[in-house]
Chain A
Amino acid sequence: MTTPPLLALDSIEVVYDGIVAALHGVTLEVPAGGIVALLGANGAGKSTTLKAASGLLAAERGKVVAGSVSFRGAPVRARGPVQLVREGLVQVLEGRHCFPHLTVEENLATGAFARRPSASDLRQSIERVLERFPRLRERRRAAAGHLSGGEQQMLALGRALIARPTLVLLDEPSMGLAPKVVEEMFTLVRTLHETEGMSFLLAEQNAAAALAVANTAYVLENGRVVAGGTVADIRARVDVRDLYLGGTGTGRTRFRARSEAPPPAT
């Protein structure tokens, strides 16, 4: 007998504003304790897929018109985002979305509100997150709007962690960050996965970074899943490599050879 996946999307179709179709039958699974990468170009439907899972679609006038989304074996349709956060499914939005006028501590606190913690529980939870992010501790009383991009990404992740999630939907965590910070982010994802058993669904354009931590991956194109499987499978597929993983090995060599060639003599 197989255990049911933590999150399962079964051929869902999503429409915005009643007319704009964004997803055409997306099916994917996040097993308990898995890190799943969701790859694809800008506008392929990665964010929409995550929002369909977290119940945030409604806030943007989107709707799952066909198919089903289930978390822990029960459909999410009947549960609002607040309920889902309580049950352990939290999304970190693309572009961080920290509350700019709130302090770092206040930002973190908002992530715990859904489970209505006691005052001491709240304080301890904030401390625990700050232990993980020493840089945030230094700036705990600063307004989030004054943090650097990397610090804001840490804060957004910390704010999600404080809800004690079992599944985190991470949308483009590497966007606009320096390579070193990106590496730090993904190291953290792996640590959380290994030490806390947290599962992740990771939407990324930076395929190399995402595949380095993921177990399985899906590739989205124009609202459809065009490839899916283990990371090794995905890496092996030439068409996927060409389109999403920075071109084939030969393509890259050719590019380099050309650019490094000496200028023609005049």
Chain B
Amino acid sequence: MSFFLEVLIGGLLAGVMYSMVAIGFVLIYKASGVFNFAQGAMVLFAALTFVSITERGVPFALALVITLAAMFALAIAVERAVLRPLVNAPPLSLFLATLGLAYVLEGLAQTVWGTQVHGLDLGISDAPIGAGAVSVSRFDLFAAATAASLVGGLGALFRWTRAGVALRAVADDPLAAIAVGIDLRRLWAIVWGAAGVVALVAGLLWGARVGVQFSLSLVVLKALPVLIIGGFSSIAGAIAGGLVVGASEKLAEVYVGPLVNGGIETWFPYVLALGFLLVKPAGLFGERSIERV
């Protein structure tokens, strides 16, 4: 039983990491209805920028500030160069633009900072800490706590700030948002900036786990089942989806894996997502429209 719990908790904590990437998608999807394929490249870009700066002897906090500034500069550049010219273009054009953006970002990051793998030490040990018979990784707990505070921060932002209210308004009804005078361009820059911050946090946590390298941009593929299960337009959904994917893939690997010679962790989430598409296509927390009776 304690082994089951350990696997479950380990899976949930890993799932938090998936959620972090998925949240970046949700932000941009809510504001502009675009599936931002470049979110993974933004994770890579952020982590690589941060690591390369620290490797040049810049202290941790300053490097964090510089990288944050870089992510906001990137957001503004994307709004100017990609989104503004494509305003009112069909969603598919926008999606393809983000696909192109992903390649540009990956290339840019590696041209500037090189292609070698960087180690990233956040100074948090991976040593297990125990509670009774169950022990979990200290780093995983740290990652979960970071994610929780990030989500809390974003939640407060959307609940209380004008940008947050404006963002929810745009998600509800874009035409009405324009009609009442909400500045969509400014909002997009803010949202891409916020997605950049999320990408940075995700990049640091993932980078510390697996090293900062090109494959970081592939976490985008792991976020896909998370989004399908949780729903594209809900941050709560991204979290729930991440936890479901993390827990189920680890449990499946441990309990079902041996029956089929293992290795099902890599594809199990996609099968699960397929199942959700058949049964609950909007996802767990997908757009629920208010129906008045």
Chain A residues near B (Cβ < 8 Å): 54, 56, 58-61, 81-82, 84-86, 90-93, 97-102, 106-107, 109-111, 113-115, 143, 145-148, 159-160, 163
Closest to A51 in B: B179
State which of B42-50, B162-170, B223-231 sits at the interface with chain A: B162-170
Residue in B88, B165, B289 whose CB lies within 8 Å of A102: B165
> What is the distance, in angstroms, from B265's C-beta to the closest C-beta of chain A?
37
Whether B182 contacts A60 by the Cβ 8 Å rule is no
In the complex, the answer to whether B162 meets A113 with C-beta atoms within 8 Å is yes
Residue pair B172, A114 in contact (C-beta under 8 Å): no
Chain B contacts with A in 166-191, Cβ cutoff 8 A: 166, 168-169, 171-183
Is A163 touching B181 in the complex (CB atoms < 8 A)? yes
Q: Which residue of B168, B179, B292 is within 8 Å of A97 (Cβ)?
A: B179
Chain A to chain B: the 3 pairs with minimum beta-carbon distance, closest first = A114-B181, A145-B290, A85-B181
Q: Mark B114-157, 1 if CB is under 8 A from A, else 0.
A: 00000000000000000000000000000000000000000000
A82 to B22, CA, bound (A): 31
9 contacts between A and B (CB under 8 A): A86-B181, A99-B172, A100-B172, A101-B172, A109-B165, A110-B180, A111-B181, A113-B166, A143-B290
A102-B179 contact in complex given A59-B174, A143-B290, A145-B290, C-beta closer than 8 Å: no
Task: Please determine whether B181 and A82 come into contact, CB atoms closer than 8 angstroms.
Answer: yes
Task: Please report the number of residue pairs spanning A and B whose Cβ atoms sit closer than 8 angstroms.
Answer: 94
Contact present for A61 and B180 (CB under 8 Å): no
Q: What's the Cα separation between A97 and B180 when bound, in Å?
A: 10
Given A90-B181, A97-B175, A113-B183, 13 more A-B residue pairs with CB atoms under 8 Å apart are A58-B88, A82-B183, A86-B181, A93-B175, A93-B179, A99-B169, A101-B168, A102-B165, A109-B165, A110-B165, A113-B182, A145-B292, A160-B180
Q: Min CB distance, A200 to chain B, in Å?
A: 16
Q: Are A102 and B172 in contact (CB under 8 A)?
A: yes
- Contact assessment for B165 and A106 in the assembled complex, using a CB-CB cutoff below 8 Å: yes
Q: How far is B63's CA from A135's CA once the two chains are assembled, in angstroms?
A: 53
| Residue in chain B with minimal CB distance to A122 | B162
Task: Give chain A's interface secondary structure class.
Answer: helix
Q: Which residues of A have CB within 8 Å of B173?
A: 97-100
Kindly list chain B residues whose C-beta atoms are within 8 Å of the C-beta of A145.
Answer: 289-290, 292
CA distance A93 to B183 in the complex (A): 17
Known: A58-B88, A110-B169. A100 touches B290 (CB 8 A): yes
B87, B179, B292: residue with the most chain A Cβ atoms closer than 10 Å: B179
Provide the residues of chain B in CB contact with A143, threshold 8 Å. Answer: 290
Residues of B within 8 A of A60 (CB): 88, 175
User: Main secondary structure on chain B at its contact with chain A?
Assistant: helix
Complex interface: chain A residues within 8 A of B176 (CB): 93, 97-99
Closest to B165 in A: A106
User: Across the interface, do A113 and B181 meet the contact criterion of CB distance under 8 Å?
Assistant: yes
Task: Return chain A residues, CB-CB under 8 Å to B166.
Answer: 110, 113
Known: A61-B88, A109-B162, A145-B292. A114 touches B169 (CB 8 A): no
Question: Once bound together, how far apart are the Cα atoms of A86 and B182, in whole Å?
Answer: 10
Q: What residue in chain A is nearest B90 (Cβ atoms)?
A: A61
Residues of B within 8 A of A84 (CB): 181
Which of B165, B171, B175: most chain A CB closer than 10 A?
Answer: B165
A136 and B231 alpha carbons, distance in the complex (Å): 32
Q: Which residues of B contact A146 (CB under 8 A)?
A: 290, 292
- Asked whether, in the complex, the Cβ of B180 is within 8 Å of the Cβ of A113, the reply is yes
Q: Complex: how many Å from CA A54 to CA B179?
A: 8
Contact across chains for B178 and A81 when beta carbons are under 8 A apart: yes
Residues on B with C-beta less than 8 A from A99 are: 168-169, 172-173, 176-177
Cβ–Cβ < 8 Å partners of B165 in chain A: 102, 106, 109-110, 113
- Chain A residues whose CB sits within 8 angstroms of the CB of B168 once the complex forms: 99, 101-102, 106
Interface string of B241-258 (1 = CB under 8 A from A): 000000000000000000
Residues of B within 8 A of A163 (CB): 180-181
Which of chain B's residues have a CB closer than 8 A to the CB of A56?
A: 175, 178-179
Cα(A60)–Cα(B174), bound, Å: 11
Pair B179/A81 contact, Cβ less than 8 Å = yes
Q: Which residues of A contact B177 (CB under 8 A)?
A: 99, 110
Residue of B nearest to A169 (CB): B179
C-alpha gap A100/B178 in the complex (Å): 16
Q: How far is the CA of A84 from the CA of B183 in the complex (A)?
A: 12
Closest to A55 in B: B178
**Cβ of B292: which chain A residues have Cβ within 8 Å of it?**
145-148
Cβ of B34 to closest chain A Cβ, rounded Å = 16
B174: chain A residues at CB < 8 Å are 59
Shortest C-beta distance, A162 to chain B (Å), equals 9
